[in-house]
Structure 1
Amino acid sequence: MSGIPSDTGALMSAVLEGILYGFSVLMFTGTIWALTYKRSLQDINRPIAVVAVLLLLVSTVHMIVTIIRVENGFVKYRDTWPGGPAAFFADITEETYVIKHALYIFQTVLADGVMVYRCYIVWQSARIAIIPGILWCAIVVTGVHAVYSVSQASSNPGDVFASQLTKWITAFFASTITTNLLCSGLLAYRIWTIEREVAKVRTSKRGTMIPIVRILVDAAVLYSVVLFSLLICFLSGNNGESVLTDLVMPIISIAFYMVLIRITLNRKNRSYISTVFSTVPRGTIGSDGTTQETLQDYPMKPLQVHISKYTQNDGPSAYRVRSDQPSTGKVESLGRVSLDM
């Protein structure tokens, strides 16, 4: 092992995690505001609200365990633990160490599960979700096995970089990085393709969806940079991985909250209304209210068109797509995409 001493790393990670945890609590408050702003109780996205609360609870428990671990290592067992504080914090079978990493695995599984669900909802295709779903299952399997292996590492309890542990932990990091990048890429590409079709006929820049792509990319970059740094530290046998592991906990929450809050702050344009080419007879657009509103916002010349209305709904990241036939006319379908970010 190399890098900072284990006891120094434990103290450093506790301080830095505490700072980021406080910031995540502030962002959680903003998230609750974003979920409830000008909404009735029935309109609140309850599943996403539950996920947001779970992320906060898991981060809070992790912060409490971190404080207990630091107190145990530097105060309670300072003179009784063989080898002193440095040996205490290096022992991967110690109870608080196992609990902290189990919480980290749970938080990662939860956050990555939401990403996979977003992909399915946005694309409305089970095929698109197959590979992300397989990667998510790999995260669950490798994460659970890694925590179990750590708790049973009686042969070499002071070395998290032991060969029998490395393969599972490395597989876990690789799986979560790949899942994050793949899901973020699929989401950004899907929204970009929608925006490209909208831009063909839109007469103004009002209602552009590009800010949503930027928000998703920013969140993916933040999370991926930390994970790549963590993986590099782990593969190089650097004790800095223990510090980064603790920091990932509030960062996961921050990245999740950031998406929702930033989209809420960009709510000046409530609706994303687009016109997409389709096989509809010329001049046969339905006359229901939605279609009339769309035509008023986007004057069009006579052509073969398919009208789609994209409506922003500022809840956490999910995209619902449903088709409604207009009351009159021969339009094949009138789709509305709600952005529950």
Structure 2
Amino acid sequence: MVQPNGIPLDTAAIVSTVLEGILYGFSLLMFIGTLWALMHRRMNSGVNVRMVSVACSLLIFSSAHMIIDIIRTEEGLVQQRNTFTDGPVGFFSDVAQWSFVYKNMLYMLQTLVGDGVVIYRCYVVWRSWWIIVIPALMWCSVATTGIGSVYSISQATTDAENIFAPITGPWITAFLAATLFTNVFSTSLLAYRIWAVGRRVSSASSQSSVLWPVLRIILDAGVVYSISLLAALLCFVTKNRGHYVLLDMIMPIISLTFYMVIIRITISKSASQGGAPPSSGFSNPLSMSRLTRGGREYDDQHQYPLRKMEVHITQLTETGDPDFDKADDIEVGSPGESTPTALKTPRRESAYAV
């Protein structure tokens, strides 16, 4: 049987609290930026209450987790340093303490919210319930193993000083593996959809698709979270105490990846709109010169009435309209709103041009 290895638990407690505090500070700043992106720039179209609620929930969970870690560090190193036989190491190895149970419950809730957002974004860009059946089932497995791991930790009375014991180890391993697979699979579905549509748009236009920055942002967030989970899973499987540090760091990382997607897409879209010339809506400069007589429009060079002509579009296009929110559905997730042109499946549409 492999014995636990790695850094001492009292050292792990200090390192994890410091690193979590640094990441938590960044998440606070990005939370403010996320609220601005969700509320300020969407004042005309309405605030997406669901995404604001998710952002606040992630902040609340990570804040509560941070507070519990500070309390545990102070208790283990100061108040109860002489209570246990092994000193602070004995305190931090006791997994049955209420503070350890609560912090793991918060981690489970944070994970469920974070994975749920990725699955929801998959539905937004695919516009199909069937495409998220497998991710939803995987999310249920995350919830099941998460509840099982928290319950097993709370009941660990016979071997409470070993997190890797048979009563807790299998549940935690299954939980970490389930959330890793769920995140990788859901992010892959999301990235593939954006890549496929962006590729079709680029093939029909000489310009680069506006979806490529969105794709990079989605992949960056997924890679950061997946690498963190993989490292934590490997540490736990090999019974390395470094998993304590990694799990505490993942709490604010989940918040950071959510905030990062919204803020970076907002910045990317603002930059692209700021550098684009205003669209006049006319392809021919001569058509800008008009006269109006009796409620009808005439060309000033040719005295003929101008009539609207219906044009049927059968391929994906990018409008270049700065008022058209191409990335909002990925960014804030709002299936009730109209689908952005860049994410629509090719179909027959109607447009009007002079």
- Aligned-partner residue type, residue 305 of structure 1: T
Q: CA deviation at 1:66?
A: 0.5
Partner of 2:248: 246
Matched, 1:87 2:90: yes
Deviations 1:128-156 (A, max 9, x none): 10110000000000000100001101110
Of 252, 255, 258, 1:256 maps to 258
Kindly indicate whether the alpha-carbon contact (under 8 Å) linking 1:65 and 1:96 is maintained by their aligned counterparts in 2. yes
Matched, 1:305 2:320: no
Runs of 4+ in 1 over 6 A off after TM superposition: none
Identity, % of aligned positions: 42
Of 44, 51, 55, 1:52 maps to 55
Matched, 1:98 2:113: no
* Higher Cα radius of gyration: 2
Question: How far apart are the structure 2 equivalents of 1:119 and 1:39?
Answer: 22
Kindly indicate whether the alpha-carbon contact (under 8 Å) linking 2:173 and 2:233 is maintained by their aligned counterparts in 1. yes
Partner of 1:18: 21
Aligned length: 304
Counting only pairs closer than 5 Å after superposition, residues 62-73 of structure 1 correspond to structure 2 as: 62-73=65-76
Partner of 1:235: 237
Q: CA deviation at 1:204?
A: 2.6
CA RMSD of aligned residues (A): 2.6
Kindly indicate whether the alpha-carbon contact (under 8 Å) linking 1:294 and 1:309 is maintained by their aligned counterparts in 2. no
Instruction: Say which SS state the counterpart of residue 66 (structure 2) adopts.
Output: helix
- Aligned-partner residue type, residue 79 of structure 1: N
Of 104, 112, 115, 2:118 maps to 115
Instruction: Say which SS state the counterpart of residue 5 (structure 2) adopts.
Output: coil
Q: CA deviation at 1:319?
A: 5.9
Partner of 1:284: none
Instruction: Say which SS state the counterpart of residue 168 (structure 2) adopts.
Output: helix
Question: How far apart are the structure 2 equivalents of 1:317 and 1:129?
Answer: 18
Aligned CA distance change for structure 1 residues 158 and 182 (closer, same or farther; 3 Å): same
Aligned CA distance change for structure 1 residues 143 and 201 (closer, same or farther; 3 Å): same
* Structure 2 gap ranges (5+): 275-279, 285-310, 320-324, 341-346
Q: CA deviation at 1:197?
A: 1.5
Partner of 2:77: 74
Q: CA deviation at 1:17?
A: 0.7
Aligned CA distance change for structure 1 residues 323 and 169 (closer, same or farther; 3 Å): closer
Deviations 1:178-237 (A, max 9, x none): 1111111111110111111111222433x5210100000000110011100000000000
TM-score by length of 1: 0.82
Kindly indicate whether the alpha-carbon contact (under 8 Å) linking 1:309 and 1:334 is maintained by their aligned counterparts in 2. no
Question: How far apart are the structure 2 equivalents of 1:189 and 1:123?
Answer: 10
Partner of 1:299: none
TM-score by length of 2: 0.79
Question: How far apart are the structure 2 equivalents of 1:47 and 1:31?
Answer: 13
Q: CA deviation at 1:114?
A: 0.9
Aligned CA distance change for structure 1 residues 96 and 31 (closer, same or farther; 3 Å): same
Partner of 1:285: none
Kindly indicate whether the alpha-carbon contact (under 8 Å) linking 2:112 and 2:143 is maintained by their aligned counterparts in 1. yes
- Aligned-partner residue type, residue 217 of structure 1: L
Instruction: Say which SS state the counterpart of residue 164 (structure 1) adopts.
Output: coil
Partner of 1:281: none
Kindly indicate whether the alpha-carbon contact (under 8 Å) linking 1:259 and 1:317 is maintained by their aligned counterparts in 2. no
Partner of 1:318: 333
Kindly indicate whether the alpha-carbon contact (under 8 Å) linking 1:98 and 1:147 is maintained by their aligned counterparts in 2. yes
Kindly indicate whether the alpha-carbon contact (under 8 Å) linking 2:313 and 2:348 is maintained by their aligned counterparts in 1. no
Question: How far apart are the structure 1 equivalents of 2:106 and 2:350?
Answer: 44
Kindly indicate whether the alpha-carbon contact (under 8 Å) linking 2:12 and 2:242 is maintained by their aligned counterparts in 1. yes
Of 207, 210, 231, 1:208 maps to 210
Deviations 1:254-277 (A, max 9, x none): 111111111011013359xxxxxx
